[in-house]
């Protein structure tokens, strides 16, 4: 008789445990949904993320912050999609970049230019809008910058390290077979030849001419004036305004007000962020990141020296301001 009672009690205990596990699982799913929902809600200042507000006329904002890499497809696709959307009435281009890959800057410039053919574009520049960062602002109808913004730095750079001196000191001799005298230029193991220097300078000069042409078209300035300004130097916002490289001193609020009027939207229009990189949110990453940070703190170490820094991939010639 006692055996039957024990089995009944054990079954009841097991059933209660299973019920608690189910309730816990449902709660975990609900919390995850709430956390995910936070990234899709309104972010303040009339700005919407992840598609909210797209069913009514609105503006879009594209942030280009940091180094511009060779692959800018995330941004160019976002611009193309926004251009096709009839409810999108204008673009606020938010730039804070020292520049980067010439190819990436060119592709993004062309994407902004295509958008600007159909709808108004305004650019606002933060701490920097230099080199390729300035290049992508050129199709804008109006460019705003702060007084202290570093902009301009119009030019192209191509460089390659060369270790022949070090290799010769340690007795390393590199044998190189090439299909032609200019194929191996530049090289890590030997200096650039006079012919290679002429060839590479021709490439840089051609890319520079293309950049100058973009400035001539975008800023409606004569070529000789652009070339006099385009010697690679950066300008502050105040200096850039005086020479015609920007239109106004101001920040994002000034740019939004201008764009609202230019797009014909009254009041405070909605602004939808586009081209943003998706943020992954995983419990494993959260726990590991917190635990790892605690361990480094306990050991008195800086975690940054152990974690690789993420930079945009840059191939080929660059247009960047290098202090």
89 classed as catalytic: no
Q: Angle at which helices 102-118 and 194-219 pack, to 10 degrees?
A: 20
Selection from 227, 252, 226, 67 nearest residue 145 by Cα: 252
Contact 245, 169 (CB under 8 A): no
Out of 12, 15, 168, 183, the active site residue is 183
131 classed as catalytic: yes
Out of 97, 131, 187, 263, the active site residue is 131
Measured distance CA(96)–CA(79) in Å, rounded: 18
Residue 262 token pair: 């230019």
Query: b/e for 157-182, b at 16 or more Cβ within 10 A?
Result: beeeeeeeeeeeeeeeeeeeeeeeee
Q: Is residue 136 exposed (0-12), middle (13-18) or buried (19+ Cβ within 10 Å)?
A: buried
Contact 313, 71 (CB under 8 A): yes
Contacts of 71 (CB under 8 A, 6+ apart): 104, 312, 313
By annotation, the residues acting in catalysis are 131, 183
């Amino acid at each position: 008789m006692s055996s039957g009672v024990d089995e009944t009690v054990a079954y009841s205990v097991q059933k209660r445990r299973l019920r608690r596990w189910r309730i816990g699982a449902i709660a975990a799913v609900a919390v995850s949904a709430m956390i995910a929902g936070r990234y899709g809600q309104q972010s303040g200042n009339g700005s919407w993320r992840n598609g909210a507000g797209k069913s009514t006329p609105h503006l879009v904002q594209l942030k280009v912050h940091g180094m511009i890499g060779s692959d800018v497809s995330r941004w160019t696709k976002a611009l193309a999609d926004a251009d096709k959307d009839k409810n999108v009435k204008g673009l606020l281009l938010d730039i804070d970049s020292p520049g980067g890959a010439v190819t990436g800057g060119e592709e993004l410039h062309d994407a902004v230019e295509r958008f600007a053919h159909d709808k108004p574009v305004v650019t606002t520049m933060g701490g920097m809008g230099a080199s390729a960062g300035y290049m992508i602002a050129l199709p804008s109808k109006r460019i705003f910058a702060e007084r202290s913004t570093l902009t301009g730095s119009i030019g192209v750079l191509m460089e390659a390290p060369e270790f022949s001196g070090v290799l010769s000191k340690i007795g390393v001799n590199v044998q190189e077979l090439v299909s032609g005298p200019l194929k191996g230029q530049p090289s890590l193991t030997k200096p650039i030849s006079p012919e290679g220097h002429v060839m590479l300078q021709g490439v840089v000069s051609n890319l520079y001419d293309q950049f100058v042409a973009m400035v001539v078209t975008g800023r409606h300035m004569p070529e000789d004036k652009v070339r006099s300004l385009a010697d690679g130097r950066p300008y502050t916002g105040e200096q850039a305004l005086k020479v015609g490289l920007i239109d106004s001193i101001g920040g994002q609020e000034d740019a939004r007000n201008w764009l609202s009027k230019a797009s014909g939207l009254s009041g405070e229009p909605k602004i939808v962020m586009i081209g943003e990189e998706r943020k992954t949110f995983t419990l494993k990453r959260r726990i590991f990141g917190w635990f790892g940070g605690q361990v480094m703190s306990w050991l008195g170490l800086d975690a940054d020296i152990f974690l690789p820094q993420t930079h945009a991939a840059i191939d080929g010639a660059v247009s960047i301001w290098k202090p």
